[in-house]
Amino acid sequence: METTIERATKIVKQGGFKLTKQRKSLLELLAENYQRYIDLTDLDGKMRELYPKMSYTTVYRNIREFSNLGLVEEQQHDGKTEVKFQCDDLHQHHHHFICNRCGKVQELEMCPLNFFEEQIPGSTITGHQFELYGLCAECTMKATN
């Protein structure tokens, strides 16, 4: 069975990009944290620890390329850009529940767009984002004990 990294590297190559050591390391860092959004500045710092001569723009350019290829999801949170690994071809369009305490991300099965479309007849929706925030089951149990 093909691993997540193998599938991601195939997508990078099919997208017309060379699989450099830096790109592979970036994919591995993202895959290690697949259940969480990572602050892009923190990710940049980790990459520069591995590759001290790597430029600031290289990390951001690669993240943008990965995003265009569907390998990375981006969100803005508290004025910062956060990224999360996405290598699930079956669930390209999805939404999240994000734990405020541990940062764990859970995919939601349903998109609520139909509910909102019914409330604004005649309008054309051109895009949307939907995320829920709170405490995951583990953090809720810890908070009540």
pLDDT digits (tens, 9 = 90+) for 80-139: 888 988 855 544 666 778 788 887 888 777 777 778 888 898 888 877 777 778 898 999
Angle between helix axes 21-32 and 56-68 (nearest 10 degrees) is 70
Residue 71 DSSP code? S
- Residue 93 labeled ligand binder: yes
- Average pLDDT of the residues of the chain: 85
Residue 59: band (very low, low, confident or very high) from pLDDT cuts 50, 70, 90 = very high
pLDDT of residue 87: 57
CATH 1.10.10.10 fits 4-89, yes or no: yes
| pLDDT at res. 16 | 93
pLDDT of residue 2: 62
Helix axis angle for 40-50 and 56-68, nearest 10°, is: 120
Tell whether residue 96 is among the known ligand binding residues: no
Helix axes 4-14, 21-32, angle to 10 degrees: 140
Do 85 and 29 form a contact (C-beta atoms < 8 A)? no
Banded model confidence at residue 30, pLDDT cuts 50, 70, 90:
very high
Closest CA relative to residue 135, chosen from 97, 95, 81, 85: 97
Q: Is 102 annotated as a binding residue?
A: yes
Q: Tell whether 77 is in a known binding site.
A: no
Residue 28 pLDDT grade (very low, low, confident, very high; cuts 50, 70, 90)? very high
Listed range (5-9, 44-48, 71-75, 95-99) with the worst mean pLDDT: 95-99
Look at the domain 93-144 and name its fold: Dna Ligase; domain 1 (3.30.1490)
Residue 128 known to bind ligand: yes
* Residue 60: per-residue pLDDT: 92
In the chain, where the domains are located: 4-89, 93-144
pLDDT at 46: 95
Instruction: Please report, for residues 111, 114, 121, 123, the alpha-carbon distance to residue 118 in angstroms, rounded to integers and kept in the order given.
Output: 14, 6, 6, 10
C-alpha closest to that of 75 among 104, 47, 96 = 96
